[in-house]
Structure 1
């Protein structure tokens, strides 16, 4: 389902990664672990909601190249970025919304494999793609996570 989204701002923690050799699975697992173990959510000011955003941006090329991953919250302002965290503003625009349904993280991996397979058909922009972990994201086999892919 296509949607037009407004610009948005996020504060969180980040890493540079790649999908090569499934490196991102291990690195994203560590980043999620740090997000929870270090209580990052509680350190973020001006949150718009409790939804957690997992963002993929600064693409070197396409899904086979390096990119930056950020886990954090959508915020009203970037005026107060705590030490050790990053704050970024992202452009809105046209997005294709997909929903991962089922046990996480397997369901989210399945969605990304589908996105990579349909890369050309989706006409990806490779600007910013993101996942939104809301109320339904922690329901075991009934979990749902929305995935937004920037498209032309």
Structure 2
């Protein structure tokens, strides 16, 4: 069980159909770094970057919202143009993507989608945590948390 968290960042509505998410998320990550969004976020709870997948229309084959942001201690100040959201406590199964990014994360999601039914996914929200280990070339690691029933 994870206690939940608050996050501020950039968001986009996308879908995995026709590789749309790869395009949209590539752009979103590009914008996050190009616009130095990390520096604009007040009340950071950590230096980690979270990628959160939420507002699922049904499951991973339909539309969902992605937020790339940073966990914060309060949503009292959300800078203009950014999204602030609170995510409640959930039960998660953790996966670790290991290797060159972003390929390793993509490959881990492929494995998750193949096990979709047996994981008993809840589709409230899932998230990735990009910490210190996420920028280490072939030795990178990113944690992926999947909400389960």
Note whether the superposition's TM-score is higher than 0.5. yes
Higher normalized strand content (fraction of residues): 1
Question: In structure 1, which of residues 116, 119, 126 is the aligned counterpart of residue 116 of structure 2?
Answer: 119
2:55 corresponds in structure 1 to 58
1:35 aligns with 2:29: no
- Structure 2 gaps of 5+ residues are none
Shift of 1:7: 1.9
How do 1:1-152 residues align onto structure 2 when only pairs under 5 Å count?
A: 4-152=1-149
Aligned residues: 149
Shift of 1:135: 0.2
TM-score where L is the length of structure 1: 0.97
TM-score where L is the length of structure 2: 0.99
Which ranges of 4 or more aligned residues in structure 1 deviate by more than 4 Å?
none
* Cα RMSD (Å): 0.5
Alpha-carbon distance in 1 for matches of 2:90, 2:11: 23
- Structure 1 gaps of 5+ residues are none
Alpha-carbon distance in 2 for matches of 1:77, 1:144: 28
